[in-house]
Structure 1
Amino acid sequence: MPQGTKVPEESARTAQAKINFQKMKTILTNKHISIETRKRALQCYIEPVLMYGCEAWTISKQIQNKLEATEMWFLRRMLRIPWTAKKTNERVLNEANKRRSLVRTIRKLQTTFLGHVMRIGKREHLVTTGKFEGKRSRGRQREKIMDGIGICGGT
């Protein structure tokens, strides 16, 4: 990648979480440790690396799909399911006795953070709601944090 090229925060976090997963691979893929214990280790040591700073992310459908794919990547590695195995995500989730929770957790953290920002009522409030004076720029409207969370007419 050329120098000075900015990598989206979500992609950088995903890469760091996968690196940390590989460092803990011996524990997370060990069949002698119960799946529940391995899921707890994933939740304690890997997911915080992935979700660091997620309160400020604007999650589009494309980013949401990437986060869900990352969550499935972790589960498939933990269960030692090769990429050539034709198992659906639902079967993998059933085998791990788990539901998708990563995006839901991120949305919850964003909503909690938004509550703090909205109480402040200063510049942060203006930036979050996107209400500035002056003319709008040309082209499609920028996606705001409020749109991603689903409050105030967002999806």
Structure 2
Amino acid sequence: MRNLENHPGIKVGGQNINNLRYADDTVLIAENKEDLQKLLNIVEEESRKKGLELNSKKTEVMVISRKQESPKCDIFIYEVKLKQTEKFKYIGTIISNDGKTNREISGKDQLSKDENNPGK
């Protein structure tokens, strides 16, 4: 994944960010679909070198936009067009295509909340 460092992403605090990783979850970030496809191609190539394969059924694309309807974004892996989604969950946070986030309540947190509100 070090090969991603010199490729375009988005600027956050003056720093280029094009991927977020946690355990086996990865989010690729780009300003446009061409850059996103390049990032995905690099990840695909590097994965193959290590004997790994990306699962196109578990890989989705999301466009964050302020428009009423998000623009279509055709991105491919292994010549398979990826599904475009309106929201996804990353490390317990739901991110939607309008850029909003919503922290998901874990089962443990919900149980604690219910115990503190017995009338509910």
If the length of structure 2 is used for normalisation, what is the TM-score? 0.33
Structure with the largest fraction of helix: 1
Higher-RCO chain (CA-CA 8 Å, sequence separation at least 6): 1
If the length of structure 1 is used for normalisation, what is the TM-score? 0.28
Structure with the largest fraction of strand: 2
